[in-house]
């Protein structure tokens, strides 16, 4: 039997233990409460940043994302950290299309790679696939600026990582998107090496995309991929089977034009008509010269309904140069003088934009074509 003194000691010990437990619980609850409060604050800040990005206020969105990253770490809020880095990367990627292309793409890539430290294939497969696709886009665009081959290889690697999750069976829409992007990367790589095999890989990727992107279900995406497929067949025609590949290019462009109409998608319509004109112009060197040159000129003129000097000066100049070449070739078949005059008019229109000061290389090339046209007129 315990003495009164012992009872007092035991009571004090129990009281101390209960006090410590209550203190720990209180502190834990306080920490949990503070964390939940911070999480709510971060969620609100993320919504605001995303809203700014959706409104195309990318610089403001970037500031918001970076402010969020000052509040969190990969350790205390890993999911939110990865989401913020992914969205920051996307904001820099879009901003790169407006200004400071190289530096903004580098920032975009850094942000995506930060996101992928959390978004692993094993733990967050869906988010991993999303960020890998985004990373592929950034590397593909960076390849236009520097280190073309290595950046395209990184782009292709990222797309293939995304396709480990985005399969045809499980995520058909996302699968089609990545395959279209992969096709574009492979289409760029022939400018560096293995032209024929990379163009074949590009065509295969586009055809994979078209398994999902049908005319009936996804008309706009169908048209985009068909236009891309046409361009790849056009490039392949310079390597082998010129006539048959140009016919496939023309078929693909015409498929795209079922959706890309003058009324609904004028800018896309003009792009595809310009591409179609180039395919017919190239085909004229193989067969049916006169009729294919007429089709080429017709397509270029349709493009020029949208590609005006005032609205799209660079595109206008590109198509004017193209139509000048078509008229010049047509002059070798019929109506020599009038077609050479039309060719010279078109070249001069192109030179209104491609000035010596702003585009010295292009200016010299068109002037050379113009001088040859004038010499034929004499």
For 153-211, write each residue's pLDDT tens digit: 999 999 999 999 999 999 999 999 999 999 999 999 877 788 999 999 999 999 999 99
Calculate the alpha carbon distances from 280 to 43, 293, 312, 346 in Å.
Answer: 54, 6, 23, 18
Whether the Cβ atoms of residue 274 and residue 307 lie closer than 8 Å to each other: yes
pTM of the model: 0.87
> Which pLDDT belongs to residue 38?
75
CA angle 115, 107, 97 (to 5 degrees): 115
**Which residues, 6 or more positions from 46, have their beta carbon under 8 angstroms from its beta carbon?**
68, 80, 83, 84, 87
> Which pLDDT belongs to residue 12?
63
pLDDT, tens only, 60-107? 999 999 999 999 999 989 999 999 999 999 999 999 999 999 999 999
Q: Low-confidence residues of the chain, pLDDT below 70? A: 1-35
Distance from C-alpha of 86 to C-alpha of 229, rounded to nearest angstrom: 30
> Which pLDDT belongs to residue 25?
45
* Domain residue ranges in the chain: 309-378
Whether the Cβ atoms of residue 162 and residue 173 lie closer than 8 Å to each other: no
Whether the Cβ atoms of residue 289 and residue 280 lie closer than 8 Å to each other: no
Tokens of 347: 């070249």
- Determine how many CB atoms are found less than 10 A away from the CB of residue 253: 29
Distance from C-alpha of 218 to C-alpha of 175, rounded to nearest angstrom: 13
> Which pLDDT belongs to residue 190?
73
């Amino acid at each position: 039997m315990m003495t009164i003194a012992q009872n007092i000691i035991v009571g004090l010990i129990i009281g101390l233990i209960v006090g410590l437990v209550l203190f720990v619980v209180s502190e834990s609850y306080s920490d949990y409460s503070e964390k939940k409060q911070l999480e709510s604050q971060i969620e609100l800040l993320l919504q605001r940043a995303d809203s700014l990005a959706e409104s195309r206020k990318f610089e403001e969105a970037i500031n918001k994302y970076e402010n969020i990253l000052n509040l969190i770490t990969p350790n205390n809020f890993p999911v939110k950290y990865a989401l913020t880095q992914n969205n920051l990367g996307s904001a820099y990627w879009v901003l790169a299309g407006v200004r400071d292309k190289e530096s903004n793409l580098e920032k975009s890539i850094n942000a995506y790679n930060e996101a992928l430290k959390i978004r692993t294939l094993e733990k967050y497969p869906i988010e991993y696939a999303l960020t890998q696709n985004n990373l592929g886009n950034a590397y593909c665009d960076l390849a236009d600026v520097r280190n073309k081959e290595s950046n395209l290889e990184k782009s292709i690697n990222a797309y293939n990582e995304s396709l480990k999750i985005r399969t045809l069976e499980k995520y058909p829409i996302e699968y089609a998107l990545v395959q279209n992007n992969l096709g574009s990367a492979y289409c760029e790589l022939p400018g560096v090496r293995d032209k024929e095999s990379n163009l074949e890989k590009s065509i295969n990727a586009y055809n994979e995309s078209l398994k999902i992107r049908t005319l009936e279900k996804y008309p706009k995406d169908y048209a985009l991929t068909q236009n891309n497929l046409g361009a790849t067949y056009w490039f392949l025609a310079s390597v082998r089977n010129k006539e048959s590949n140009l016919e496939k290019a023309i078929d693909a462009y015409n498929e795209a034009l079922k959706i890309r109409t003058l009324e609904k998608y004028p800018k896309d319509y003009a792009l595809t008509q310009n591409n179609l004109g180039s395919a017919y112009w190239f085909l004229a060197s193989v067969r049916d010269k006169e009729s294919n040159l007429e089709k080429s000129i017709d397509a270029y003129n349709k493009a020029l309904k949208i590609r005006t000097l005032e609205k799209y000066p660079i595109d206008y100049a590109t198509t004017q140069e193209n139509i000048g070449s078509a008229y010049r070739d047509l002059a070798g078949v019929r109506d020599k003088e009038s077609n050479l005059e039309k060719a010279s008019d078109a070249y001069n229109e192109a030179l209104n934009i491609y000035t010596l000061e702003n585009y010295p290389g292009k200016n010299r090339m068109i002037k050379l074509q113009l001088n040859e046209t004038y010499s034929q007129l004499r």
